[in-house]
Amino acid sequence: MEELKNPESLITIVEQARRMDEGAIGQLVKEYYPSVLRFLSYRTRNREDAEDLTSEVFVRMVTSIKNQTGNFPAWLFRIARNLLIDYYRKMDREKSSPLDGMEYDSITVHTEDHRGGFSADEIKQMLTALTDEQQEVISLRFLSGHSLEETAQIMHRSTGAVKVLQFRAVAGLKEHLKKDIRALKIS
């Protein structure tokens, strides 16, 4: 799928997908499914919910790609983000917090500089110390690998606002890690 990393190739594939070319749609799904699933996995209660939402993202992609304009990855992750908002709303109606009873299944983190320092459940637990927007920035920037500009488009915020959210989120994670380290030294 290296060809989709090239912006011109991505534009060509998206144009073919708009014409309902099954091969092009398949390429887009194959390329983006893992990163959408990873983004949703860290924000939902369990793996099954993340898989269901991810499937729904691609169903909506296929049904609305004819009208898609602009940056394709940002558009796709905006669909995922909107489904996630609906997911939280449904949980609120059920009088449950999005993090109550969260299952920590094994989710593999794939980033270029991942050194295997934290398990998926540790990352999920650390994210709970952040606000929802900070969690979203961390998920989009570091777990899904989006640029600042793409993250800003997905979140409907300015690049500067995303930088501030990212700075505060990273600072919050550092503070959380310091507390964990202090707790380990005491015990």
Both 73 and 132 in one domain: the answer is no
Task: Report the mean per-residue pLDDT for the chain.
Answer: 81
Which pLDDT tens digit goes with each residue over 5-26?
678 899 999 999 999 999 999 9
Among the listed residues 57, 2, 60, 62, the one whose alpha carbon sits nearest the alpha carbon of residue 26: 62
Which pLDDT tens digit goes with each residue over 77-89?
999 999 998 988 8
Residue 178, class by beta-carbon neighbours within 10 Å (0-12 exposed, 13-18 middle, 19+ buried)? exposed
Both 45 and 69 in one domain: the answer is yes
Q: pTM of the predicted model, to two decimals?
A: 0.65
Domain extent for 53: 1-101
Both 10 and 94 in one domain: the answer is yes
Helix (H, G, I), strand (E, B) or coil at 44: coil
Residue 35: partners with Cβ closer than 8 Å, 6 or more residues away = 144, 145
Separation between Cα atoms, residue 163 and residue 169, nearest integer Å: 10
Both 15 and 97 in one domain: the answer is yes
Both 71 and 154 in one domain: the answer is no
Both 119 and 93 in one domain: the answer is no
3-state DSSP: the chain helix, strand, coil percent, rounded to 5?
70, 0, 30
Question: How many alpha carbons lie under 13 Å from residue 79 in its C-beta half-sphere?
Answer: 23
